[in-house]
Structure 1
């Protein structure tokens, strides 16, 4: 394994653990610290950051190994400041620090949590005109599609996203020497008897239930009791073929346990790069017609930030084309800017299935959408039943 591959693996493990490790706990925590009526007063009252100017050192709070050290060092040298880079690895840890008004100047947060966080009064609004290189951001992310077809919610989210960061899609990976007849649908998880005992689902509530609901033709954001009952029935149909619920990382792929499993495209890319060449050839990957279940991390400035001007300078630094290219080559994720997507296409040229048609970003059906507070307990109850067997 080369040094770059090792770094990619570390970054992805930390990122997925945060993103999918505790969606329910995060929702309950946010409900406890929300200010106002939770319906939007705090959005209008939130402080706006309107100047990109150095006002102190930068306290950066994100995933481990998530930025190019060269780009970070360049920022420190150019502006004569220090970056105090600290890490989180779980949802509870990140939310607890945000809720406790820790002096965090800039963080990266998952797309499906942006609006609830903003509504809880934990984020500052951003004047995007103050970011010189904001024009690099792809048009589909100026008003980000993170809340599905709820255009009002997307508009309300936009002021709190300083800029998008890494994004990724969910697909299915399979052993081509063991599994035949894949069709490009989540149905394939149910229709491969040769993979009985070697088929896995993720031990992660939101993406796993979303996969099942999308396969049934339902919008997860709208799923109620009846849809969840059908999802439970679909899981019972699959259960005899299940080898179990696995971690979101690629351990089961690497150790040979899985022949058929959901996977993030970028995670499979990292796993393949770490395998001997003869093993790489055994694996194939597909995105699925029902949804790619995209999510994206985002730069956000917490309400407790003491150096918001420096934070905006950092966002602008990361958006500059030369820095963006270096960073994409380091982290291995697509970043939805003009230069970010160009660099990602070059990086993954040997893996056509990793290429992304940018038009997909504007399709709200392709996104992992938030679970509303009034549906969260239903999701948790359904998940507990699924896991209990």
Structure 2
């Protein structure tokens, strides 16, 4: 009888423990969802401090800002945490395409009813191939690359990619250190897509790159404009924000939109599948899509603005900056990077051979 009673008491105690545990979990979940924080994951300085401070003051929500260097690094972190550590990630279009094809999708659909400023996004930047319904992503900015050169040192008229192969430019070019961008430029020179997967065309691009190597003096992902500014090189192929920095340092520098057609990359807001503060994530995205805030962000980071409500706030300096305010006609014919699947290995091989040449 005593043993039976003890067993009964043990069962009751276990049930009470389980009930209390579930209650504690529910309480923890409720507390977590109401935390006044939002965890942002993107490149360094991509959201200006001034904007972050305004959001915190307006909403009372603290921004925890974490950085990554590449989209691939971001994806590895999301995979490691199973999409549970961050609330808002700002990343590029092609990596969103990659993530959408994975068995376990690390993004959650965005409820646009909770983001009324979604209406401010310029329609030309919506419904792209990487997310045709904008199910998982909302555009933040657009980046592109261009040629910038010093006309006092370069005696040829540079109009496009093909001119970078001119022997007169021997040992005088800086290239942004990125395989898709440089190989893509080469494919465009040959009349192919920047997303080419045909092995014969890629091998042709590989041979073409070998002809370019004597002209290349510097590879630099982060500050290629510095080599141009300090006179180490006279020509550069780099991001618009970097070209803008070069021209600000020396207004005599010329910016060229390559006649073969530019590349463009959209950076987007996404919400990870297990974001701990989904409501705060929606508030942050909606805040960033305010026209005035959007203009402040792109004025600071000098990327192409994708927000139609921002134009009324743009300064003459921004509107006259060829590096960051690019005509719609150029943007509409620009080609976007796509996931090239198994051809990625070929791109890696071409790049490795090119740099080791």
Is TM (by shorter chain) over 0.5?
yes
> Compared with structure 1, are the counterparts of its residues 290 and 129 closer, same or farther at alpha carbon in structure 2 (3 Å cutoff)?
farther
Cα RMSD over matched residues?
2.3
CA distance in 2, matches of 1:343, 1:176: 33
The alignment status of 1:113 with 2:88, answered yes or no, reads: no
CA offsets 1:45-87 (integer angstroms, 9 cap, x no match): xxxxxxxxx8432111122222233332232233222211222
Counterpart for residue 297 of structure 1: 267
Counterpart for residue 253 of structure 1: 228
Further displaced range: 169-178 or 241-250:
241-250
SS at match of 2:268: strand
Counterpart for residue 15 of structure 2: none
Q: Does the CA-based 8 Å contact 2:71-2:95 persist in structure 1? A: no
**Counterpart among 230, 237, 240 of residue 262 in structure 1:** 237
Further displaced range: 340-349 or 106-115:
340-349
Counterpart for residue 159 of structure 1: 135
Residues 231-250 of structure 1: pairs in structure 2 closer than 5 A: 231-249=205-223, 250=225
Q: Does the CA-based 8 Å contact 1:334-1:344 persist in structure 2? A: no
The alignment status of 1:88 with 2:58, answered yes or no, reads: no
Counterpart for residue 116 of structure 2: 132
SS at match of 1:296: strand
Further displaced range: 301-310 or 239-248:
239-248
Counterpart for residue 103 of structure 1: 85
The alignment status of 1:205 with 2:179, answered yes or no, reads: yes
SS at match of 1:167: strand
> Compared with structure 1, are the counterparts of its residues 342 and 287 closer, same or farther at alpha carbon in structure 2 (3 Å cutoff)?
farther
> Compared with structure 1, are the counterparts of its residues 92 and 140 closer, same or farther at alpha carbon in structure 2 (3 Å cutoff)?
closer
SS at match of 2:238: strand
**Normalized against structure 2, the TM-score is what?**
0.82
> Compared with structure 1, are the counterparts of its residues 245 and 142 closer, same or farther at alpha carbon in structure 2 (3 Å cutoff)?
closer
Q: Structure 1 regions of 5+ residues with no counterpart? A: 1-53, 148-152
| Runs of 4+ residues deviating >6 angstroms | none
> Compared with structure 1, are the counterparts of its residues 181 and 88 closer, same or farther at alpha carbon in structure 2 (3 Å cutoff)?
same
CA offsets 1:155-201 (integer angstroms, 9 cap, x no match): 26x2110x21121221111110111332421111012x332111233
Aligned-residue offset at 1:297:
1.2
Q: Does the CA-based 8 Å contact 2:145-2:240 persist in structure 1? A: yes
Aligned-residue offset at 1:359:
4.3
**Counterpart among 152, 162, 168 of residue 194 in structure 1:** 168
Residues 1-389 of structure 1: pairs in structure 2 closer than 5 A: 55-56=34-35, 57-101=37-81, 102-120=84-102, 121-144=105-128, 147=129, 153-155=130-132, 158-161=134-137, 163-191=138-166, 193-249=167-223, 250-273=225-248, 275=249, 280-344=250-314, 346-352=316-322, 354-363=324-333, 366-389=334-357
For this pair of structures, how many residues does the alignment match?
A: 319
Q: Does the CA-based 8 Å contact 2:213-2:354 persist in structure 1? A: no
**Normalized against structure 1, the TM-score is what?**
0.75
Counterpart for residue 3 of structure 1: none
CA distance in 1, matches of 2:197, 2:76: 29
SS at match of 1:125: coil
Query: Greater Rg, structure 1 or structure 2?
Result: 2
Q: Does the CA-based 8 Å contact 1:207-1:368 persist in structure 2? A: no
> Compared with structure 1, are the counterparts of its residues 315 and 88 closer, same or farther at alpha carbon in structure 2 (3 Å cutoff)?
same
Q: Does the CA-based 8 Å contact 2:194-2:335 persist in structure 1? A: no
Aligned-residue offset at 1:301:
0.6
